[in-house]
Amino acid sequence: MIEPHDDQHGNEREAAVSEADDRRASEAERIAEALVFASAQPVSEAFIAERVAKDIDVAAIMRKLKADYAMRGVNLVQIDGAWAFRTAADLSFVIRRDESEVRKLSRAALEVLAIIAYHQPVTRAEIEDIRGVQTSKGTLDVLMESGWVRFRGRRRTPGRPVTLGTTRDFLDHFGLEELRDLPGIEELKGAGLLSGRIPANFSIPSPLMSDELTEDEDPITQMDLEELGLLPPSGESSGD
């Protein structure tokens, strides 16, 4: 037979444990909020998990914070699996654009960026095959300088052409959480970016959902970077 005072002590212990858990969760939430706020780059859940109690559900903490900020002037958004604070989309018009913002892209650059986004990993030759015209080095340079396009690897085919893909900055700039959020055919039609008289068999490819190299890609090495002109030859001194 359980005495009444035993039940009382049990309830008190449960209440104390629950209160302690709430305090730890609240502290973890504050830490996560501070880490994201203080970072100039999106912060991964793994980074946050290293700085809070081990048994804290970081994903749940971030979902709660996201809901808390949903109606504020800044929102907590997820970008390629990481978290960042961004101005609420409906208030972007009141934020003055920085004069150093990336210059307006040409039509050619927009076409190349779209092909890379939807077809990645893709080579320059494949981009030209899709567009039907040659792609100038300057066009790719602009996209690389903007930080929206990167070298992924090298294709395991003759000549080992470089493969291209988009970056986290690309997702951030265009307000996408992940590549699966890229607009589909109906959305593109609605925005006037596709003609209403497109071929019946026209389709938009599903973009790659992972940054992992595919089976026909090799990683880029330091020698590759030297060949691409991104690093000085290893035998040369960088000078003063």
Q: Which tens digit of pLDDT belongs to each residue from 41-87?
A: 899 999 999 999 888 999 999 999 999 999 999 999 999 889 999 98
Nearest to 65 by CA among 30, 107, 35: 30
By the 8 A CB rule, do 42 and 168 touch?
A: yes
pLDDT band, residue 239 (cuts 50/70/90): very low
Q: Tell me, what's the pLDDT at 240?
A: 43
Between 30-44, 62-76, 101-115, the lowest mean confidence (pLDDT) is in 101-115
Say what angle helices 107-119 and 137-145 make with each other, to 10 degrees.
70
Q: What is the pLDDT of residues 17-29, one digit of tens each?
A: 567 778 888 999 9
Tell me the pLDDT band of 99, cut-offs 50, 70 and 90: very low
Q: How confident is the model at residue 221 (pLDDT cuts 50, 70, 90)?
A: confident
| Distance of alpha carbon 125 from alpha carbon 135, whole angstroms | 9
pLDDT digits (tens, 9 = 90+) for 130-172: 888 898 888 999 999 999 999 999 999 998 899 999 999 999 8
Task: Compute the distance between CA of residue 76 and CA of residue 34 in angstroms, rounded to an integer.
Answer: 12
pTM value surpassing 0.85: no
- Which of 92, 94, 74, 93 lies closest to 84 in space, CA to CA? 74
Give percent helix, percent strand, percent coil of the chain, each to the nearest 5.
45, 15, 40
The pLDDT of residue 102 is above 60: no
